[in-house]
A and B are shown apart, each in its own frame.
Chain A
Amino acid sequence: NAGVTQTPKFQVLKTGQSMTLQCAQDMNHEYMSWYRQDPGMGLRLIHYSVGAGITDQGEVPNGYNVSRSTTEDFPLRLLSAAPSQTSVYFCASSPGQGVYEQYFGPGTRLTVT
């Protein structure tokens, strides 16, 4: 099993550009989520999904969109990149929502200039 994979590993965007961060898991997990990690702030939840076709907002959803058309994939779309979105983005999955171990991807380091 590859676990949770994320692409790209690094990305530089100019303000106003859009892009999609890819996330895939091969563990047949129902729950997937996106976090951003900024220095000294730990992990903040952007969006999550409890199953294909179902998504919901987390703590910091503004400026981001998600969709979940399959169990395996959960892409995160930046609509119009801003310097405040410079961060490391992690995708995670778990068998369900709640008291389950979360499996994290390796992260995408995004810089917006």
Chain B
Amino acid sequence: LAKTTQPISMDSYEGQEVNITCSHNNIATNDYITWYQQFPSQGPRFIIQGYKTKVTNEVASLFIPADRKSSTLSLPRVSLSDTAVYYCLVGLSNYQLIWGAGTKLIIKP
């Protein structure tokens, strides 16, 4: 049974690169990983999605190693406005969605 595990919280400083890792055992080749960002009193917002290796967009990168037992969301040069909760989501081929409990990221000046 797939399950996702993420750190409860992380701290970093402005200008640093932040990496948040999500562990997800027992996922299949065509299961996908998605990350969402959530600010207080708002709904989650899509950041990035991928199946394998590396995906990059204008705000983040997603690294998925060959064993697919984890994935890492990388936020380059964070700012105070990146303070939020970040959710890892695994989408299975049977359409089941496995959400992580979220990582509260606090960026300090």
Contacts and interface: CB of A to CB of B under 8 A. Distances in A.
Chain B binds chain A: yes
Contacts of B42: 104, 106-107
B81 interface: no
A92 interface: yes
Interface stretch (B11-19, B61-69, B97-105): B97-105
Nearest to B44: A104
Contacts of B8: 40
Given A42-B100, A98-B95, A105 B43 contact: yes
B43 A92 contact: yes
A104 B45 contact: yes
A26 interface: no
Interface residues of A, number: 19
Contacts of B101: 40-42
Interface in A31-78: 40-45
Given A106-B41, A106-B43, A107-B41, A42 B97 contact: no
Given A41-B101, A99-B49, A90 B43 contact: yes
A3 B71 CA distance: 29
Interface of B: 8, 32, 34, 36, 41-46, 49, 87, 91, 95, 97, 99-102
26 contacts: A4-B43, A40-B8, A40-B101, A41-B101, A42-B87, A42-B99, A42-B100, A42-B101, A43-B99, A44-B99, A90-B43, A90-B44, A97-B95, A98-B95, A99-B32, A99-B49, A99-B91, A101-B34, A101-B46, A101-B49, A102-B44, A104-B43, A104-B44, A107-B41, A107-B42, A107-B43
